[in-house]
Amino acid sequence: MRKKQTYLMIERLNIVQKSIESGFYPSVTLLRKNVMDRLGTEVSLPTLYRELSFLRNRCGIDIEYDSYRHGYYIKSADLI
């Protein structure tokens, strides 16, 4: 992976994690908007789903989807 791509991935992961930690139950569409607003670059929904999976599986963050609130939240109290 090239350096710029790696940097963008790390930035996206950080934005997604912070958005979910905010407690406002962001949807994947809102996460996409947050990333695009902060980075000024396009990001696809499949990319965001892969990065949510990365945060869950590789970083061990217990991210869940709340179907009532239509958004993501961190289930465990242990935030990274």
Residues 37/38/43/44 CA torsion (nearest 10 deg): -60
* Domain-embedded: residue 68: yes
* Domain-embedded: residue 80: no
Domain span at 17: 3-74
Select from 53, 56, 49, 7 the least CA-distant residue to 31.
Answer: 49
CATH number of the domain where residue 12 is located: 1.10.10.10
Phi/psi for 64 (5° steps) reads -125, 160
pLDDT grade, residue 1 (50/70/90)? low
Residue pLDDT, tens place only, 20-72: 999 999 999 999 999 999 999 999 999 999 999 999 999 999 999 999 999 99
- Inform me whether the pLDDT recorded for 79 exceeds 70: no
Instruction: Tally the domains of the chain.
Output: 1
- Exposed / middle / buried, residue 35 (Cβ in 10 Å: 0-12, 13-18, 19+): buried
* Domain-embedded: residue 14: yes
